Amino acid sequence: MNSQRKEIISYFKQMDRSFFMDANKDLAPFDQALPIGFEQTISQPSLVLEMTLALDLQPKQKVLELGTGSGFQTALLAAFSGTVYTIERIEELQKRAKERLEQLDFQNIHYRLGDGSEGWEEHAPFDRIMVTAAASEVPRELLEQLNEGGKMVIPVGNSFSQELRLIEKDSDGRTHTTLLNEVLFVPLKGKYER
């Protein structure tokens, strides 16, 4: 196990998930997805860790996150990469997440309110892309905004069946997909809504 991977696991184990929740704080230690309002959830911890490790984060990388949500995943990305660009479509969730992340003194996070399904073109390309909502298909815009040598983790499917995929782009711009797990995420809203 490389040292970065060990550091991520160690950091993750000491994270206080309840800090990122407004209700049901007593359920924070359990490995399950929990509601955070607006028909959104905070993912189960084991899945957050699995997705983060699959990205193979490096200290100077530029990361795009679709779905800021509670800010729990954002904090983990920001702790182990250079810069995080995170997009959330629900204003109240974005506001709360930003307040929490600023309390934790993260200086390397850029926030955007809106439809994340088309990425954040003006800051592309990204070395890593984390998608925390399920798309009906892999958005073409995200593939285009993924740097050569980059990795993207994204759930793809419908309301009943989704695959968590790791998509890697090689130096020739070709993509290679690995199936990581069967998952169930809230839908990605916008252009690629199923």
Catalytic residue among 3, 10, 18, 43: 43
Q: Where are the beta strands (DSSP E) in the chain?
A: 34-37, 40-42, 62-66, 83-88, 109-113, 126-131, 146-157, 162-169, 175-183
Q: Confirm if 52 and 30 have CB atoms less than 8 A apart.
A: no
Query: Residue holding tokens 């160690």?
Result: 10
| Beta-strand relationship, 83-88 and 62-66 | parallel
Q: Which helix (H) or strand (E) holds 49?
A: helix 45-55
Q: Is 43 a catalytic residue?
A: yes
Catalytic residues: 43
